[in-house]
Structure 1
Amino acid sequence: MADDIHTTREPDGTTHTTTVVDRDPKRGGGAGITLLVVAALAIAAFLGFQFLGNEKAETGAVTEAAQKVGDAAQDVGDAAQEAVK
């Protein structure tokens, strides 16, 4: 910190003293960075849950398709047995 003291003398003999205090600027960026990190984590969590939700939907669709194929194979097997009788 550096202080500057300026004294001004008027023609009538009066003086005015001005003190200028030079302080280091405050570094208040911590809250902003914290907010950005929290927002980034929230977005990452949202996208992660979306991905997991899509994964579950895809797994469900594959399972359903496999069940339908199994049912169709059973129907073909039943029809083949009826044809042999």
Structure 2
Amino acid sequence: MADEIHTTRDPDGTTHTTTVIDREPRRRGGIGIGLVLLVAILVAAFFAFQFLASEKAESGAISEAAQQVGDAAQDVGDAAQKAVD
């Protein structure tokens, strides 16, 4: 850190003093970037879990529909067997 003091004199004899204080810049950008990154990860995780839940529900509905088709085919087969007997 370097401080500079400049003194100037006007022709009428008055003086003006200027002090320049050189400070290190604050480095807080890392915290902001970290927070933005954390929020982005949380949003991505939310949408990923929503997608996975949707896929699971869809798979369950397809399995249930397939079971119902299988049950209906069994009923038709039973009815056909009774009609032949």
Residue 19 of structure 2 is matched in structure 1 by: 19
Root-mean-square deviation over aligned CA pairs:
1.7
Gap runs ≥5 in structure 1:
none
Segments of 4+ in structure 1 off by > 4 A? 10-16
Distance in 1 between residues matched to 2:18 and 2:12, nearest whole Å: 18
Identity rate, percent: 71
Partner of 1:83: 83
Name the structure 1 match of 2:60. Answer: 60
Whole-angstrom CA distance in 1 between matches of 2:45 and 2:34: 16
State the Cα distance separating 1:29 from its structure 2 match: 0.8
For residues 29-81 of structure 1, the C-alpha deviation after alignment (integer angstroms, 9 at most, x for no partner) is 12211110110111111011111101111111111111111111111111111
State TM-score, norm by structure 1: 0.82
Gaps of at least 5 residues in structure 2 are none
What is the CA distance between 1:18 and its match in structure 2? 2.9
Q: Which amino acid in 2 is paired with 1:68?
A: Q
User: How many residues are paired up?
Assistant: 85
Q: Secondary structure at the match of 2:17?
A: strand
User: What TM-score comes out, normalization by structure 2 length?
Assistant: 0.82
